[in-house]
A and B are shown apart, each in its own frame.
Chain A
Amino acid sequence: MNASLPVFDVRNLQVNRGGSLILNVPALAVAEGEILVLIGPNGAGKSTLLQTLSALAKPSRGEIFFRGQKIGAEIPLLQYRRKLAMVLQEPLLFDTTVYHNVASGLKIRGMKRDEIEPVVAKALERFGIAHLRDRSARTLSGGEARRASIARAFATNPEVLLLDEPFSALDPIMRETLIEDLEKVLRETRITTIFVTHDRMEALRLATRLGVMNAGEILQTGSPDDVMNHPANEFVASLVGVENLLHGKVAKKKESSIIVSVAELDIEVTGPMEVGEEVTLCIRPENVTLLPVLSGTIRPERNTFRAAVDKITPMGFYQKVQVDCGFPLVTYVTNTSSLELSLKEGIEVLASFKTRALHVIRGASSSLVSEPKSRGSSLQDT
């Protein structure tokens, strides 16, 4: 096994269904031990990509190389599929006991009964379902069934694990404990994983690399931190939780920064853009701070604006506050801070954000696809 070769190397992959292009991935490489999490809305092509990678769906065009071998040509499909394990959205357990479910992949591979026993026992133990061994899969709760389904995938000791939204439709507590267990196992085994989800928090928990998909294309991949803070375009930004997207025009160029005029207010940011250029500013809500309006004169800080509180939405541990500074801003405020600020709809506050918490995207349109150059990384680092 050549460690320097990527586990997956996808080239010009296209899938057409019913005359329309539903997946178009010009290039994607997944390295050994990587946990690539793909997020995107429903219909983004995430599941199609997983199914194509696992040779369960035929691509209309393109090639997939597994450790340098072209699948279906240099490596037979069955042999290839037996190196992978896939967990789908529903547990899809067989109508038999938990033990026989977890053993099914091994039986399919023709493994002997006495060899299967210890492997299954370990998989059951690992996912905390050893006590359910002889229970019928039909009598399991949603969380237990999910565990059995993941244990079944792990039992075959796959080289790659493909997970297609395995935690959807679970209640938050079950989801949390299951993610914790999976996280632990993935860390221990260092198994190469591609995980598909539409849940941002799930993605950030597990990913060593994050990819954002929409309309059959991968819009951006990068470290979770990079994608979160430097989205390549507005679509990625909104998907990774950038709730403030401000459209403006570069008004002035200073030595180390530029001034962007948004609704006739000046916002200072760092960026290589030229005067007159249209830009979109991305500000994560957690990077916006609200301050009380103190009486007397205040020294005007950079990127601090008088704002009226428009709407306060309680979110449990925190509040989502929408303010109007001439342009709308969304911010998260802890319940304690809200009390300290005596936040109420209609009152005046100061809204402030740091220059380095801003990310600038060229163009002010809401086009979903970024310039080709920006694919694979953000446009610029602020």
Chain B
Amino acid sequence: MDLILEGIKKAFWLLVSFDPEVLGITLLSIKVSGSATLISLFIGISVGASVALTRFPGRRIVVSLINTGMALPPVVVGLFVTISLWRNGPLGFLGILYTPLAMIIAQAVIATPIVTGITLAAVQQLPAKLRLQILALGATRLQMLWILIKEAKLSLLAAVMAGFGGVISEVGASIMVGGNIKGYSRVLTTATVMETGRGNFDVAIALSIILLLLAYLINLVLTQIQQRERRR
């Protein structure tokens, strides 16, 4: 019990004193997971909406693959991204293993199927005749796609939340491709794992509280937007 209380006290102190190392780790977490989420939104919304709107042979297989991808284990992603970026790997020439960029790539791979799956479901839920109505209003196919995405925006906010939530909290892939290098590729989750391993529970608790707060704040903002939209 003392351990936890001590931890919370220390965590509070680290937070209010704006400890430069903790601050750096937090900012990097936001940067890496934010960038990964943005990339996954770009790919996931385009792919999800396209699959939702087209009929092609083997579509069901593609949809079930996307749905399986939503539960992609981060360590598996970490493993494959590591192999790809390894010195002798297919993308080894990029020389980005153990960098924040590699972490962004790995996290984007994790978040993209989540965003794709939710977009797919959201666009499919729109009335089937809405597409006809948009085209009848004189829209090009691209304009139609954009209007449909706007129509599904509330569900897409859920995709942002799920995507960001998925990557800010993952540790396996980040530690494998980022290497948890102090001051360079250390993020909240990887630091928590390391500090717990070292027995520095106070620091680990502090980092966990920040992680929770961060996840809560971002979801709070998105939920506010979503619920305001729904009330309108």
Q: Given A56-B132, A92-B130, A108-B143, check contact A136 B137 (CB 8 Å).
A: no
B121 interfacial contact with A, CB 8 Å: no
A149 CB to nearest B CB, Å: 8
User: B136, B150, B151, B229: which contacts A81 (Cβ < 8 A)?
Assistant: B136
Tell which of A59-67, A83-91, A208-216 binds the partner.
A83-91
Say yes or no: A88 contacts B129, CB within 8 Å. yes
| Of A56, A94, A95, the contact of B136 (CB 8 Å cutoff) | A56
Q: A104-B147, A109-B138, A138-B232 are in contact. List 14 more A-B contacts (CB 8 A).
A: A56-B132, A81-B135, A82-B138, A85-B137, A86-B136, A88-B132, A88-B136, A92-B127, A94-B151, A95-B151, A105-B137, A105-B138, A136-B232, A156-B137
- Minimum distance in angstroms from B229 CB to a CB of chain A: 8
B140 proximal to A (CB < 8 A): yes
Q: B139 an interface residue at 8 Å Cβ cutoff? A: yes
Interface residue ranges of B142-157 to A (CB < 8 Å):
143, 147, 150-151, 153-154
CA distance A229 to B153 in the complex (A): 53
- Which one of B130, B138, B154, B232 lies within 8 Å of A108 (CB-CB)? B138
Knowing A94-B147, A94-B151 touch, does A78 contact B132 (C-beta < 8 A)?
A: no
- Can you show 5 pairs from A to B with CB atoms below 8 A apart? A54-B136, A56-B136, A84-B136, A85-B137, A109-B138
Tell me the minimal C-beta distance from B161 to chain A in angstroms. 19
User: Which B residues touch A54, using CB under 8 A?
Assistant: 136
Question: C-beta contact mask, B61-97 vs A, less than 8 Å → 1, else 0?
Answer: 0000000000000000000000000000000000000
Q: Which residue of B lies closest to A86 (CB)?
A: B136
Q: How far is the CA of A230 from the CA of B136 in the complex (A)?
A: 36
C-alpha gap A54/B136 in the complex (Å): 7
Q: Render A70-86 as a binary contact track against B, CB cut-off 8 A, 1 for contact.
A: 00000000100110111
The CA-CA distance from A51 to B150 in the complex, in Å, is 24
Query: Is A147 part of the contact surface with B, judged by Cβ < 8 Å?
Result: no
* B133 contact set on A, CB distance < 8 A: 86, 88, 92
A51-B132, A56-B132, A108-B143 known; A152+B137 contact, CB < 8 A: yes
CA of A56 to CA of B153, assembled, Å: 25
Residues of B within 8 A of A (CB): 127, 129-130, 132-133, 135-140, 143, 147, 150-151, 153-154, 229, 232
Return B138 CB to nearest CB of chain A, in Å.
4
Residues of A contacting B127 in the complex (Cβ-Cβ under 8 angstroms): 90, 92
Known contacts A90-B127, A95-B151; decide if A85 and B232 are in contact (CB<8 Å): no
- Collect the chain A residues with CB atoms within 8 Å of residue B150's CB: 94-95
Secondary structure at the A interface, as helix, strand, loop or mixed, is mixed
Cβ of B136 and Cβ of A85 under 8 Å apart?
A: yes
With A90-B127, A92-B127, A95-B151 as known contacts, state yes or no: A78 contacts B137, CB within 8 Å. no
Q: Which interface class (under 10, 10 to 19, 20 to 34, 35 or more) fits A?
A: 20 to 34
Contacting residues, chain B, for A85 (C-beta < 8 A) = 136-137
Digit string of A104-135 for contact with B (CB within 8 Å is 1, else 0)?
11001100000000000000000000000000
Task: Indicate which residue in A90, A108, A138, A162 contacts B137 across the interface (CB closer than 8 Å).
Answer: A108
Nearest residue, chain A, Cβ from B139: A108
Instruction: Tell me how far the C-beta of B168 lies from the nearest C-beta in chain A, rounded to whole angstroms.
Output: 29
Q: Report Cα–Cα, A78/B138, bound state, in Å.
A: 7
* Residues B135 and A104 in contact, CB atoms below 8 Å apart: no
Q: Which single residue of chain A is at the shortest CB-CB distance from B152?
A: A95
A-B pairs with lowest CB-CB distance, top 5: A86-B136, A82-B138, A92-B133, A105-B137, A136-B232
In the bound complex, residues from chain A placing their C-beta under 8 Å from that of B229 are 95
- For the complex, give the distance between the alpha carbons of A115 and B109 in Å: 45
Q: B135 — which chain A residues lie within 8 A by C-beta?
A: 56, 81
* Chain B contacts for A104, CB-based, 8 A: 137, 147
CA distance in complex: A108, B140 (Å): 8
Q: State the Cβ distance, A84 to closest chain B Cβ, in Å.
A: 7
If A136-B232, A138-B232 touch, whether A92 touches B138 (CB-CB below 8 Å) is: no
A152 partner residues in chain B, CB cutoff 8 A:
137
Residues of B within 8 A of A78 (CB): 138, 140
Closest to B143 in A: A108
Instruction: Identify which of residues 304-336 in chain A touch chain B, using a CB-to-CB cut-off of 8 Å.
Output: none
Tell me, in angstroms, the Cα distance from A215 to B110 when the chains sit together: 51
A138 and B130 CA atoms in complex are apart in Å by: 15
CA A162 to CA B229, docked complex, whole Å: 32
Shortest distance from the beta carbon of A126 to any chain B beta carbon, whole Å: 18
Q: Which residues of B contact A94 (CB under 8 A)?
A: 147, 150-151
Cβ of B49 to closest chain A Cβ, rounded Å: 16
Residues of chain A lying within 8 A (CB to CB) of residue B143: 108
Contacts of B147 in A (CB 8 A): 94, 104
Query: Which A residues are CB-close (under 8 A) to B137?
Result: 85, 104-105, 108, 152, 156
Chain B residue nearest to A138 in the complex (CB): B232
CB-nearest residue of chain A relative to B133? A92
The smallest beta-carbon distance between A196 and chain B, in angstroms, is 14
Q: Which of B138, B153, B154, B232 contacts A156 (CB 8 A)?
A: B138
Chain B residues in 8 Å Cβ range of A89: 129
Shortest CB distance B156–A (Å): 12
**Chain B residue at minimal CB-CB distance from A96:** B150
